[in-house]
Structure 1
């Protein structure tokens, strides 16, 4: 499901216009992005949690030449699914 499809589904289930649903979804995504960039954890009970994780610098390999190279440290987002989501997907 892509973002426009999600907007349409939310609009249909909540009796909102697509513009209102788009505004709500964009606001939620902006707030989640801001929280994660501030190193906050987002916990949606039953769905899962998002957290910022630090990946340390490491040695990698250029697949074309085989030469060793250093991969810089970076921050990334990790998602841990909740119990209800795990159960829904496994059925």
Structure 2
């Protein structure tokens, strides 16, 4: 699902609200999450999961085409860990699905 689909779904479920207001709410929530992560804070949405940032040290990588060594700078990356309720909901949803055989 992309952001515009989320806004449309919320608008369909809340016909008493204007779409522009719902879009503003969604943008505000996402911006607050982004700002908190940029400040190094952790964001937890109970039942959904937690967003945090992880530090990745500088390292030497390889260009997959040429095999040449490439210096990769240190960086901070966003990390998401699904909450218990989310994992349980996903597992119930996919209990009936059989895995595809891999040859």
TM-score bin, normalised by smaller chain: over 0.9
**Matched ranges for 1:12-23 at <5 A:** 12-15=12-15, 16-23=17-24
- Segment drifting more, 37-46 vs 63-72: 63-72
CA RMSD of aligned residues (A): 1.0
Extract structure 1 runs of 4+ deviating beyond 6 A.
Answer: none
Partner of 2:87: 86
After superposition, what is the alpha-carbon deviation per residue over 1:35-91, rounded to whole angstroms, capped at 9, x for unaligned?
A: 000000000111000001111111111111111111110011000000110011112
1:43 counterpart residue number: 44
Q: Structure 2: where are the runs of 5+ without partners?
A: 93-103
> What's the counterpart of residue 98 of structure 2?
none
> Which segments of 5 or more consecutive residues in structure 1 lack a partner in the other structure?
none
Asked which structure has the greater CA Rg, the reply is 2
The count of corresponding residues between Structure 1 and Structure 2 is: 91
Q: What does 1:45-84 align with in structure 2 at a 5 Å threshold?
A: 45-84=46-85
Deviates more, 1:43-52 or 1:14-23: 14-23
Structure 2 counterparts to residues 22-41 of structure 1, below 5 A: 22-41=23-42
